[in-house]
Amino acid sequence: MIIISAKTNLFPMSDNIESTIIGKLVKNHTIIDNTETQRDLELKGLGEFNKSDFFLKPFESLYLLYTGKLNLRSGNKKIKFDDFLQTCIKADPDALTKFLIFRDLRTKGYIVRDGFGFGSDFRVYERGQFGNKDAKYLVFALNEGKQEKIGKLQKKIEEITKMGKEPIISVIERRGEIIYYKISRINFLKNKVSMDMKDFDFS
């Protein structure tokens, strides 16, 4: 088992979304009906289509609510950030963790999409490469003190590296501060674990 404990400072908030987004709440997802808004969000790496509906993932909605860019409603009721966060946590206990990491990476200028395979939480694109190249990084979220089986993690890292992608572990300190680690090698020798890790600077 491994335990990772580390921290760094969050960056200040910023985003280039100018107009308020109107969304309606369906369970813990946000549906966007306006076609112009849909196109704008797609260009900025937010939201996706599911059949005929365009929707935001919970962490995307939380981010836009937090920045004041989203007007989210359920019927005639306006949904506030804190209320929606509690709804998301009921559906996914890791909702707050995902939001904090998503927020941190977006404010650093990265396009962040939902993870796929290997148990990753996010795909992260190099700056300026969204829409041109596949995501370079696969990010795994951990809260400080959470344990992960080293053998399971090693298998994921080997498969990701073979695909030409870089596995990143993001660790959330108890106060919500975040640090990123790039995992370069895991070796097993005489029943001893050797993990070569170095800070990975998403900045």
Domains of the chain, start order: 21-93 (3.40.1170.20), 94-203 (3.40.1350.10)
The alpha-helical segments, DSSP class H, found in 8-114 are 35-43, 58-66, 81-91, 95-107
Starting at the earlier edge strand, list the strands of the sheet with 53-56. Answer: 48-50, 53-56, 29-32, 21-26, 70-74, 77-78
DSSP state of 193: E
Q: How far is CA 56 from the centre of its chain?
A: 13
pLDDT of residue 106: 92
> pTM here?
0.78
The least confident of 16-20, 38-42, 99-103, 157-161 is: 16-20
Extract the tokens encoding 139: 């990010």
- pLDDT at 1 exceeding the cut of 70: no
Quote the Cα angle for 52-73-176, to 5°.
100
Q: How confident is the model at residue 14 (pLDDT cuts 50, 70, 90)?
A: very low
pLDDT confidence of 80, banded at 50, 70, 90? very high
